[in-house]
Amino acid sequence: MIEAARIPVPSKTIIYAAAGFSLVAAIVHLWATPEHFEEWWGYGAFFLVSAVAQAAYAAVLLSRPSQKLLVAGIAGNSAIVLLYLVTRTLGIPLFGPEAGVVDEVGAIDVLATASEAALVVGLGAMLLWRLPRGDRAVALVLALAAALLLVHLPHLALFARLLFG
């Protein structure tokens, strides 16, 4: 009798850590929400929605982790990290009274962004863990290439700003 190939399951520790990182980011976003509502309702709404989504994500991740949920967490938190990098290098994009203004880097926002980045890494590790062994190397190379691009995004943004004003 042929046994079905077992898909390895990640340690609960990784799931708990990922949920914790999501909660840290949610708490920071919730803490910053009133200040951003004072600047403009759109900024405040973004922070409130981010906080609620990240808190809800942690709860769902703990109760029903799935491949689709992992991918959604990677996409959503990567988008928030990317937006953070853009607002700190090129300026606030498109909307609101401070559109185009480059925000300062603060300790609390670095904490949220580091938590989101750690969450993305943890979710990526869980996705890799679920892949068949032969596909892990290819996925890891692609993930490392994406990480390298993300790490150099501020440099590329600053270079573009110097070139195009």
Q: Is residue 104 part of a domain?
A: yes
Dihedral angle computed from the Cα positions of residues 85, 105, 71 and 133, in that order, rounded to the nearest 10 degrees: 90
Domain total of the chain: 1
Q: Is residue 6 part of a domain?
A: no
Q: Which domain holds residue 129?
A: 12-164
Strand partners, 92: 99
Specify the amino acid at residue 36: H
pLDDT at 165: 64
Q: Is residue 134 part of a domain?
A: yes
Q: Is residue 7 situated within a structural domain?
A: no
| pLDDT tens digits along 107-154 | 999 999 999 999 998 998 888 887 777 777 777 777 777 777 777 777
* pLDDT for 6 beyond 60: no
Q: Is residue 4 part of a domain?
A: no
Is 129 within the bounds of a domain? yes
In the chain, the amino acid numbered 28 is V
- pLDDT tens string 50-97: 999 999 999 999 999 998 999 999 999 999 998 998 899 889 998 899
**pLDDT for residue 10 is more than 70:** no
Q: Give the pLDDT confidence score for residue 100 in this predicted structure.
A: 93
Tell me which residue of 94, 15, 10, 124 sits closest to 60, measured CA to CA: 15
Is 5 contained in some domain?
Answer: no
Q: Helices marked H in the chain — which ranges?
A: 12-39, 41-63, 67-89, 107-130, 133-164
57 contacts 147 by C-beta, under 8 angstroms: no
Is the residue at 124 inside a domain? yes
